[in-house]
């Protein structure tokens, strides 16, 4: 097979989706048009996107050659050919999981493979929904809110707990003088963040003198006193850094909108977070984000006073972390492309694409985040979601396994089998190296979405199930408890998704679980003694679309959430009073299936991530959606301006 070109051939794909109704089945029709000057014969056509076709149902006017999750390859019936100017129409009668609800669910990448191995990239037109009026995808970033709602002229997100200021100071930059312990480090971190987020904008220089004083308060708390100089009081570096971020936001808004915003002349701001855990999760496996993109994202989370950076490093689709003992993980598992062990998935192009983070890059990222008040939480997702691992390291499979199971995403036999000795050795080695690179308190093991029938065709697994007296959930718990003991022995805390409690699961001691379905699940986990982080899919999963509009991008299997819905969602709703102390915080989750197009990332993530940040930081009595909406226009976004 020849290498794929990044250039598009003169081939066009049009798509038409007919949703199912009582009087008709669903139909996913594709039309491939040959606008080249040559006849295409005996070729195969491949496409991928977030949506998946159902390979158990017939295809109209095509032969299904291969399906792996959202990658599908078909051929023309008979010995068909496509002459210049001709079109080939074919259709699928069913989808593999959810029906299409948004244009971005459909194919986002496609190519033709000729008999001689040559690959021709196909240009895709946006898909039409038979039940929805014609339109165009909504990809612009919306400026929401009215500046008049900044009634005190202070545009800070998340909103400080107490603001009592007056007057307006004109001109000048922030001129901090290091003094109290930790203040010099805070100034350095502030400089690094502003230089990364706002290239060309000055924040530090001559003008508004800033003095730092040590004060006995919470680690993240701070107080600002405005007068001839600004006094920042905090107990150490993190509080000083957050005080500078607040001053930086005030300064930037006053500079950008002087008629509505101001830098105070006198008064006081006192601030401390509502919850101790305020997370931002980013799925680095479904799509590849460069190291610079990741560092920019870390800076944005710091600017929003989020203090947990959760890196989702592995998935069925890819492995993103360098592991010295297993170079195959990144040599094979980090890249996708036509003819590779991992085909193009989720809108990836036919040419080889992807990447991984080196050990040193991750060490540097951890140090940068810690400097900005954030702990980095690494996640290696086990035992499920391990298709890429098992492709790269087939020695981890049970060679006697004689049946196929599939994950909800359509990957076959994708879960590490705890009954295989090499799997236990693999887990020990990988998590030991993970803990060496990430020195923070929290290590996340995933534990989500293991298929109900996983391992049932494995003689070794069935023998282990009989030994422990259980089924699939108990075998998963057997794996996770062993890993949890290793993590605890290293003095760390084990994190997992809510499924970590299944089958007896990870013990609550030394663990926390992320509840992603709803607050009812979170309350039940808290009642069992777990520390709980709330990340409900219907409000805090930032890959979910903002509305039911077909022309909005994203997914909606968990629901849709406007900015206002996300802002107003109560993460404690349904928690019994006696269990509320177990709810340690909130987390925004960015899942990347739809985000091969970074404009989709931009529209879905911002400013909803800031709404979650304000929920995690600001007391209910100080919150206002109108004020928040107006203030978000001054916040950085990942792909604005200098960001590519």
Same domain, yes or no: 353 and 483: yes
Res 2: pLDDT: 60
Q: Is the pLDDT of residue 231 over 90?
A: yes
- Residue 361 forms part of a structural domain: yes
Q: What is the CA radius of gyration of the chain?
A: 26
Residues 6+ apart with CB under 8 A from 555: 50, 98, 101, 102, 105, 543, 544, 545, 591, 593, 594
Could you read off the pLDDT of 329-343 as tens digits, one per residue?
999 999 999 999 999
Same domain, yes or no: 251 and 338: no
Could you read off the pLDDT of 444-460 as tens digits, one per residue?
999 999 999 999 999 99
**Domain count within the chain:** 3
Res 188: pLDDT: 98
Same domain, yes or no: 220 and 281: no
Same domain, yes or no: 180 and 95: no
- For residues 644 and 634, what is the distance between their CA atoms, to the nearest angstrom? 19
356: its two tokens: 């991984």
Could you read off the pLDDT of 60-94 as tens digits, one per residue?
999 999 999 999 999 999 878 999 999 999 999 98
Q: Determine the average pLDDT of the residues in 458-482.
A: 96
Same domain, yes or no: 258 and 289: no
Domain CATH number, residue 46:
2.60.40.290
Res 80: pLDDT: 84
* CA distances (Å), origin 260, targets 248, 267, 303, 492, 637: 16, 18, 21, 47, 22
- For residues 590 and 281, what is the distance between their CA atoms, to the nearest angstrom? 6
The whole domain housing 226 covers 162-271
Could you read off the pLDDT of 113-152 as tens digits, one per residue?
999 999 999 999 989 999 999 999 999 988 889 999 999 9
Res 134: pLDDT: 92
- Residue 153 forms part of a structural domain: no
H and E: helices and strands count for the chain? 15, 28
Q: Is the pLDDT of residue 97 over 90?
A: no
Confidence of residue 556 (pLDDT cuts 50, 70, 90): very high
Could you read off the pLDDT of 610-633 as tens digits, one per residue?
999 999 999 999 999 999 999 999
CB atoms within 10 A of CB 118: 15
> What is the helix (H) or strand (E) element at residue 633, kind and residue range?
none
Res 642: pLDDT: 35
Same domain, yes or no: 404 and 475: yes
- Residue 125 forms part of a structural domain: yes
- Residue 287 forms part of a structural domain: yes
Same domain, yes or no: 508 and 573: yes
462: its two tokens: 């069935």
Q: Determine the average pLDDT of the residues in 226-251.
A: 98
Q: Of 237, 271, 305, which marks where a domain is finished? A: 271
- For residues 155 and 151, what is the distance between their CA atoms, to the nearest angstrom? 10
Q: Determine the average pLDDT of the residues in 549-565.
A: 97
Q: Is the pLDDT of residue 316 over 90?
A: yes
Res 197: pLDDT: 97
Same domain, yes or no: 493 and 400: yes
- For residues 250 and 153, what is the distance between their CA atoms, to the nearest angstrom? 9
* CA distances (Å), origin 397, targets 419, 428, 456, 459, 557: 10, 17, 13, 12, 31
Same domain, yes or no: 97 and 169: no
- Residue 94 forms part of a structural domain: yes
Q: Of 228, 252, 271, which marks where a domain is finished? A: 271
Rounded to the nearest 10°, the torsion over CA 141, 144, 146, 150 is -100
Phi, psi angle pair for 622, to nearest 5° = -105, 5
Could you read off the pLDDT of 145-194 as tens digits, one per residue?
999 999 999 999 999 999 999 999 988 999 999 999 999 999 999 999 99
CB atoms within 10 A of CB 42: 12
User: Which residues in 12-28 are b (16+ Cβ under 10 Å) and which e?
Assistant: bbbbbbbbeeeeeebbb
Q: Determine the average pLDDT of the residues in 216-233.
A: 98
Could you read off the pLDDT of 481-511 as tens digits, one per residue?
999 999 999 999 999 999 999 999 999 999 9
Same domain, yes or no: 265 and 330: no
283: its two tokens: 């799925």
* Percent of the chain predicted with pLDDT > 70: 99
- For residues 226 and 486, what is the distance between their CA atoms, to the nearest angstrom? 50
Same domain, yes or no: 75 and 184: no
* Percent of the chain predicted with pLDDT > 90: 95
- Residue 140 forms part of a structural domain: no
Same domain, yes or no: 68 and 87: yes
Average model confidence (pLDDT) across the chain: 96
Q: Of 271, 290, 323, which marks where a domain is finished? A: 271
Res 3: pLDDT: 66
- Residue 623 forms part of a structural domain: yes
Q: Determine the average pLDDT of the residues in 275-288.
A: 98
Res 641: pLDDT: 47
- Residue 155 forms part of a structural domain: no
Domain CATH number, residue 625:
3.20.20.80
- For residues 66 and 326, what is the distance between their CA atoms, to the nearest angstrom? 29
Confidence of residue 644 (pLDDT cuts 50, 70, 90): very low
- For residues 239 and 221, what is the distance between their CA atoms, to the nearest angstrom? 5
Domain CATH number, residue 223:
3.30.379.10
Q: Is the pLDDT of residue 251 over 80?
A: yes
Q: Determine the average pLDDT of the residues in 425-452.
A: 97
Q: Determine the average pLDDT of the residues in 512-529.
A: 95
């Amino acid at each position: 097979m020849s290498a794929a070109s990044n250039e598009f051939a003169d081939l066009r794909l049009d798509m038409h989706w007919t949703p199912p109704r009582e009087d008709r089945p669903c139909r996913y029709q594709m039309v491939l048009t040959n606008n080249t000057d040559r006849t295409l014969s005996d070729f195969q056509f491949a496409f991928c996107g977030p949506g998946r076709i159902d390979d158990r149902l017939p295809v109209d006017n095509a032969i299904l050659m291969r399906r792996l999750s959202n990658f599908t390859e078909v051929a023309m019936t008979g010995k068909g050919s496509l002459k210049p100017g001709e079109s080939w129409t074919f259709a699928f009668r069913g989808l593999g999981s959810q029906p299409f609800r948004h244009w971005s669910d459909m194919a986002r990448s496609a190519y033709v493979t000729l008999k001689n191995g040559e690959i021709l990239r196909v240009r895709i037109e946006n898909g039409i929904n038979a039940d929805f009026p014609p339109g165009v995808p909504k990809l612009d970033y919306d400026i929401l809110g009215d500046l008049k709602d900044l009634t005190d002229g202070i545009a800070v997100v998340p909103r400080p707990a107490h603001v009592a200021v007056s007057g307006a100071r004109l001109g000048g930059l922030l001129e901090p003088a290091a003094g109290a312990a930790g203040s010099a480090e805070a100034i350095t971190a502030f400089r690094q963040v502003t230089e990364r987020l706002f290239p060309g904008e000055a924040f530090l220089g001559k003008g508004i003198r800033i003095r730092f004083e040590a004060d006995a308060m919470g680690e993240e708390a701070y107080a600002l006193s405005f007068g001839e100089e600004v006094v920042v009081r905090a107990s150490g570096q993190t509080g000083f850094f957050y005080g500078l971020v607040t001053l930086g936001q005030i300064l930037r808004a006053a500079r950008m909108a002087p008629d509505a915003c101001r830098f105070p002349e006198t008064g006081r701001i006192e601030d401390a977070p509502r919850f101790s855990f305020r997370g931002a999760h980013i799925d680095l496996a479904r799509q590849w984000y460069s190291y610079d993109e990741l560092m920019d994202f870390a800076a944005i989370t710091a600017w929003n006073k989020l203090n947990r950076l959760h890196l989702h490093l592995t998935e069925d689709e890819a492995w993103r972390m360098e592991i010295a003992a297993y170079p195959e993980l990144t040599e094979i598992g980090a890249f996708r492309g036509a003819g590779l062990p991992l085909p193009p998935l989720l809108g990836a192009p036919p040419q080889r694409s992807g990447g991984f983070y080196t050990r040193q890059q991750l060490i540097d990222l951890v140090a940068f985040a810690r400097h900005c008040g954030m702990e980095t939480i690494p996640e290696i997702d086990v035992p499920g979601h391990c298709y890429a691992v098992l492709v790269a390291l087939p020695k981890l499979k049970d060679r006697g396994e004689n049946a196929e199971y599939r994950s909800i995403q359509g990957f076959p036999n994708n879960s590490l089998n705890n009954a295989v000795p090499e799997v236990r050795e693999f887990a020990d080695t990988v998590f030991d190296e993970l803990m060496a690179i990430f020195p923070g308190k929290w290590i996340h093991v995933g534990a989500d979405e293991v298929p109900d029938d996983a391992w049932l065709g494995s003689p070794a697994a069935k023998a282990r199930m009989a030994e422990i007296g259980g089924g699939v959930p108990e075998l998963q718990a057997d794996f996770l408890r062993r890993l949890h003991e290793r993590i605890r022995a290293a003095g760390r805390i084990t994190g997992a998704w809510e499924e970590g409690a299944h089958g007896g699961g990870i013990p609550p001691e030394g663990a926390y679980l992320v509840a992603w379905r709803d607050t009812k699940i979170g309350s039940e986990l808290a009642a069992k003694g777990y520390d709980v982080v709330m990340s409900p899919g219907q409000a805090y999963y930032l890959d979910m679309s903002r509305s039911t509009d077909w022309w909005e991008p994203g997914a909606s299997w968990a629901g849709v959430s406007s900015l206002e819905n996300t802002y107003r969602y109560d993460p404690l709703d349904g928690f019994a009073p006696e269990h509320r102390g177990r709810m340690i915080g909130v987390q925004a989750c960015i899942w990347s299936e739809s985000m091969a197009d970074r404009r989709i990332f931009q529209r879905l993530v911002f400013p909803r991530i800031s709404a979650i940040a304000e929920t995690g930081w600001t007391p209910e009595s100080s919150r206002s959606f109108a004020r928040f909406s107006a203030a978000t226009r001054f916040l950085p976004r990942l792909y604005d301006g200098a960001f590519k």
